[in-house]
């Protein structure tokens, strides 16, 4: 498809109100799923983030890395075990989690952002005691429940003009390294930063009224309606904890939260800089606050 210079100009003019809306504000992107596995999609995500950063939007990238952790565990002969979607993490496993998330995945993302013209700084939840946590459940081992957040290191990095890239490991007051769920960490970080928007990238198009029919996408949900949607089975399975994180972010001070399909190229730009957006937006009735 040939795009003329006039077409490009119209696209930029169309995006201007959205750029104005978000410029100077914080958007937290929770990055995971297929968008981290496909090199084409990874390039799309990074270009979106760099573009938003260059027009003055303060992007904070929070990432997981489950498949990379599983792959490394296989290499050392360890089997991955999960309880209710959370990885059982013994002492040896948490050391691998730290190595993969704070090392391989984090620094790879920083490198890709910089190679695409952005400025990025890699952080982990351990840096500056950003994420303090306690053991969540003895059955899960070294898996943490966040007890306190210190977002000053993130703000310092933003103030210096960098995109913070955050791996979700934390520590307790005794120095134990703990594996933190990335959705939970992103929601709490977004709330503590009073972010304008939290964008959660998943491998689904959003919340569907009929899970087998993509045309039944629910584009907007008030968090007060979430319990009813769970009761009806419209929100079910692994989507329940993700939606609960969306609700927590909104109650924590985020203006809006969106679950988008990371498998769609440039889904971040479609969500932030167009009328239609993409995925399911969660909002809170501000009159009740």
Q: For residue range 136-181, list pLDDT tens digits in order.
A: 988 899 999 999 999 999 999 999 999 999 999 999 999 999 999 9
Q: Looking at residues 43-69, what average pLDDT do you find?
A: 93
pLDDT at position 130 is: 96
pLDDT at position 15 is: 83
Q: Cβ distance 221 to 282 under 8 Å?
A: yes
pLDDT at position 16 is: 87
Q: What are phi and psi of 89, to 5 degrees?
A: -130, 100
Which among 34-38, 129-133, 208-212 has the top mean pLDDT?
Answer: 129-133
pLDDT over 90 at 36, yes or no: no
Domains of the chain: 23-288 (3.40.1160.10)
pLDDT in tens, 130-146: 999 999 988 899 999 99
pLDDT at position 289 is: 46
Listed in sequence order, the residues at least 6 apart from 14 whose beta carbon sits closer than 8 Å to its beta carbon are 274
pLDDT over 60 at 286, yes or no: no
Q: Say what angle helices 182-192 and 239-251 make with each other, to 10 degrees.
A: 10
| Cα–Cα dist 128/124, whole Å | 9
pLDDT in tens, 84-132: 777 888 899 999 999 999 999 999 999 999 999 999 999 999 999 999 9
Predicted TM-score (pTM) of this structure: 0.92
């Amino acid at each position: 498809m040939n795009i003329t210079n006039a077409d490009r100009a119209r696209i930029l003019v169309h995006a201007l109100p959205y750029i104005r809306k978000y410029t100077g504000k914080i958007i937290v992107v929770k990055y995971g799923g297929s968008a981290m596995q496909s090199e084409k999609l990874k390039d799309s995500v990074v270009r979106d983030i760099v573009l938003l950063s260059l027009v003055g939007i303060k992007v904070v990238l929070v990432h997981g890395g489950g498949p990379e952790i599983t792959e490394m565990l296989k290499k050392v002969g360890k089997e991955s075990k999960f309880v209710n979607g959370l990885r059982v993490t013994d002492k040896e496993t948490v050391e691998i989690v730290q190595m993969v998330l704070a090392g391989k995945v984090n620094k790879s993302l920083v490198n890709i952002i910089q190679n695409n013209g952005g400025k990025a700084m890699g952080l982990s939840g351990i840096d500056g005691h950003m994420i303090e946590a306690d053991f969540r459940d003895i059955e899960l081992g070294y898996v943490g429940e966040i007890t306190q957040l210190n977002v000053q290191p993130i703000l310092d990095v933003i103030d210096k003009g960098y995109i913070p890239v955050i791996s979700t490991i934390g520590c307790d007051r005794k120095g134990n390294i703990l594996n933190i769920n990335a959705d939970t960490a992103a929601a709490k970080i977004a709330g503590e930063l009073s972010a304008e928007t939290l964008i959660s990238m998943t491998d689904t198009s959003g919340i569907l009224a009929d899970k087998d029919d993509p045309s039944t996408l629910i584009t907007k949900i008030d968090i007060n309606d979430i319990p009813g949607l769970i009761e009806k089975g419209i929100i079910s399975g692994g989507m329940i904890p993700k939606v609960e994180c969306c609700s927590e972010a909104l109650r924590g001070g985020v203006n809006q939260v969106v679950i988008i399909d990371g498998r769609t190229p440039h889904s971040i730009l479609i969500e932030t800089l167009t009328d239609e957006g993409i995925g399911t937006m969660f909002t809170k009735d501000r009159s009740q606050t």
